[in-house]
Every structure is written in C-alpha cells, then in structure tokens.
Amino acid sequence: MSSLKDKRKEYLTVKDLQKVLDSCTLQLNQIDEVWPNIYIGNVAVAQNKASLLKLADDSTHFDLDVYFKPAADFIHKALKSPGGKVLVHCIMGMSRSSTLVLAYLMIYHHLPLKKALQKLIQKRAIYPNRNFLALLLDMELQLTRKKKTCQIL
C-alpha cells in the first residue's frame, strides 16, 4: 500500500500547483520583470489595446498549448539578440501571459513546472487558470519522457 501512495506523490496535480500559487504574497502590478529581460504585464502597458481585447478569451477550454513552443522560440530568439528584452502581456497579466513564460522556462531552461512557478511568484502575482496549469503539466510529462528517451539513446 505504501508504494502505491509513494507513486501518487511522484506526480504533481493542479491542486498542488495552485497551493504554490496561493503562497504568493506580492501585489499585482501593471508590469514586472519575472526573469532577466522577460516582463509580464497587463493590457495597460501594451500599445494596441483594441486588438488585445478582441483576443482576451481566457476560457477554461482554450488550447493555449499550441502556442507554447512558438512563444518559447520567439522569447528565446528575442533574448539572444543584442539588448534583447521581451514583454509578454495579456489583459490582466496573470494567466495567459504567465503560462507562456512558464512554458519558455520549462522548454529552454529545463525547469520543472513547480520550480518555474516558484521563481515567477517571487517576482509577480500570477495565477494561470486550471486549464492552463493542466496543459503545462501535460507538457512537463512530454518533456520528461523526451529527456528519458534521449538518455536511453
């Protein structure tokens, strides 16, 4: 029975991640630097507010995961350029934008999701919705499997 309980603790749940997020004591600002040269902000700091408002569907069923790799690639390429800085924004700067930054940290800095969350909440009050957390957990499993497969080869 003990080994079954240990196996269950091996995997994080959305609830586990929400506990990490709930530990954040920061106030929400319009913009914060959450990683060197990466900023998360809300719509007030963006130039084209009307276009952003049209795209502001933070539905619990939105498939943001199709944007994880392209957004991470964009951030990585921008940061590699001389003086490169990136503003990742959405309407509130809490869910969609932070999810894309978390995906970047997981893909390019090989941070586990929980550690990436802990790093960001030291710099900004974020709260990805449950669907986005579940999508990030799925990606973490895929990245872990890929890493294990590469080690075997």
Contact 86, 40 (CB under 8 A): no
Quick check: is 23 in a domain?
no
Name residues whose C-beta falls within 8 Å of residue 14's C-beta, 6 or more positions apart in sequence. Answer: 130, 133, 134, 137
Please tell me the distance from the alpha carbon of residue 101 to that of residue 108, in angstroms, as a whole number.
10
Please tell me the distance from the alpha carbon of residue 100 to that of residue 6, in angstroms, as a whole number.
31
Look up 24 and say whether it is catalytic. Answer: no
Quick check: is 11 in a domain?
no
Question: Is the entire prediction scored with pTM above 0.75?
Answer: no
Q: Which residues span the domain enclosing 71? A: 28-148
Judge whether residue 8 has pLDDT over 80: no
**Average pLDDT across the chain, whole number:** 84
Q: Which of 90, 116, 133, 139 is catalytic?
A: 90
Closest listed residue to residue 101, CA positions, set 80, 119, 82, 84:
119
Quick check: is 66 in a domain?
yes
Quick check: is 5 in a domain?
no
CATH at residue 130: 3.90.190.10
Please tell me the distance from the alpha carbon of residue 147 to that of residue 30, in angstroms, as a whole number.
36
The arithmetic mean of pLDDT across residues 93-121, rounded, is 95
* Number of domain units in the chain: 1
